[in-house]
A and B are shown apart, each in its own frame.
Chain A
Amino acid sequence: MPFINFATKEINCKIVYYGPGLSGKTTNIKWIYDHIKPENKGEMITLATETERTLFFDFVPIEVSNVKGFKVRFHLYTTPGQIIYQASRKLILKGVDGVVFVADSQEERHDANLDTLDDMLENLKEYDIDIEDLPLVFQYNKRDLPNVLPVEVLRRDLNRWNRPDFEAVATKGIGVLETFKEISRQVLQKLKK
């Protein structure tokens, strides 16, 4: 749910990066954080284990102030991907305005992609969020690895709603910005409706 303050002329939106464990959600928002101008970003928060696995969530606030009159603030969150953190994932989806589903393109991780998508649908249902109505982008990450599934297979199995999708190598920043721009565009578009 976006929050609009007409006094300070601010719009706040929440974007969640969802996907199976080790698919590159944190890598996505870390890349964005590292490449954004200092004046446009706040502090990045990472709640991770000692081995850098996300434990609860990562958070990056981004401010866009060159919009006519209004300042838009995107709050980017990642979810913990591992199966055991189901309860935490649900908490992070609360009040979500847009979702980026980061899939792992490797063949052996495809079952994890499908399980996580089911888990996401279940959680959205519990918040009464209709996926047809929700800004959503798919990202097929790790395209540089040797054992990846063809994009057509990933698209057929995951992107059942024919939403915009992107191939990515998040560690090199390939596809990261395109994904972020598309989800931001959709979130703002929905705001205008």
Chain B
Amino acid sequence: MLSLRPEEDEKLRELLTELNRESKSKIVLLIDKAGQLISRSESPAFSSDDITFASLTAGNVAASEALSKLLGDKNLNHMFTETEDEGIYMILIDDKYILVSIFDKNASNLGIVRVKIKKYYGKLVELLRQIEERIESESSVTEQIDVEDIDLDTLFE
């Protein structure tokens, strides 16, 4: 089970925010391959629904990966989607996570984004591995969660 401690959340957020600033992206997201949003840069101007974005990105990557396997290719490393105004660059990390940069093509370009991701890639991998090691060394995190009194009736109109 993947979990983030407050200090890890902060470190991840700082790293992604720094990468976002340097690459002049609109936002940088860290997603797991199942479609969960793990962290994102501080990007108040980004108004799209990041949860939905994470789910679609994971679907997109999964489909492309399956395609490349079908072609007998090795694993997918990265992919790029372009709209009229924006570029979306996705790169796989440790075959478990997806790092995504969304950038305005008038403010940045694929080259800058890739160079800046390269600069931060090592740090990000190291941080994620530290988190995984901490998770493995813990016996249980769930005793710190109180989910007893969940009332789903209040969800509905």
Residues of chain A having any CB pair with chain B under 8 Å:
1-8, 11-12, 14, 35-37, 40, 42-43, 45, 47, 56-57, 59, 61-62, 64, 66-70, 72-73, 75, 77, 87-88, 91-92, 94-96, 177, 180-181, 184-185, 188, 191-193
Q: How far is B35's CA from A45's CA once the two chains are assembled, in angstroms?
A: 13
Additional pairs, 11, CB under 8 Å, beyond known A3-B36, A67-B149, A192-B147: A4-B1, A6-B144, A36-B156, A42-B51, A64-B155, A67-B147, A94-B34, A96-B34, A180-B152, A181-B152, A192-B145
Q: How far is B22's CA from A76's CA once the two chains are assembled, in angstroms?
A: 35
Contact in complex: A36, B155 (CB < 8 Å): yes
Chain B residues with CB under 8 Å of A7's CB are 4-6, 8-10
| Cβ-neighbour of B157 out of A37, A57, A61, A192 (below 8 A) | A37
Interface residues of B in 138-157 (CB under 8 A from A): 141-142, 144-152, 154-157
Q: Which residue of B lies closest to A91 (CB)?
A: B62
- Counting from the closest, the 7 A-B pairs by CB-CB distance are A95-B34, A7-B9, A7-B6, A4-B3, A91-B62, A68-B146, A3-B36
| Cβ-neighbour of A64 out of B3, B8, B36, B150 (below 8 A) | B150
Q: How far is B154's CA from A179's CA once the two chains are assembled, in angstroms?
A: 16
| Cβ-neighbour of B150 out of A42, A47, A72, A77 (below 8 A) | A72
Per DSSP, are chain B's interface residues mostly helix, strand or loop, or mixed? mixed
Chain A residues with CB under 8 Å of B1's CB are 1-4, 191
Contact in complex: B35, A14 (CB < 8 Å): yes
Contact in complex: A5, B147 (CB < 8 Å): no
Chain A residues with CB under 8 Å of B32's CB are 1, 3, 95
Q: How far is B33's CA from A148's CA once the two chains are assembled, in angstroms?
A: 39
Chain B residues with CB under 8 Å of A5's CB are 3-4, 9, 38
Q: Assuming the A-B contacts A14-B36, A35-B157, A42-B49, are A94 and B4 also in contact, with contact meaning beta carbons closer than 8 angstroms in the complex?
A: no
Contact in complex: B51, A191 (CB < 8 Å): no
Contact in complex: B36, A75 (CB < 8 Å): yes
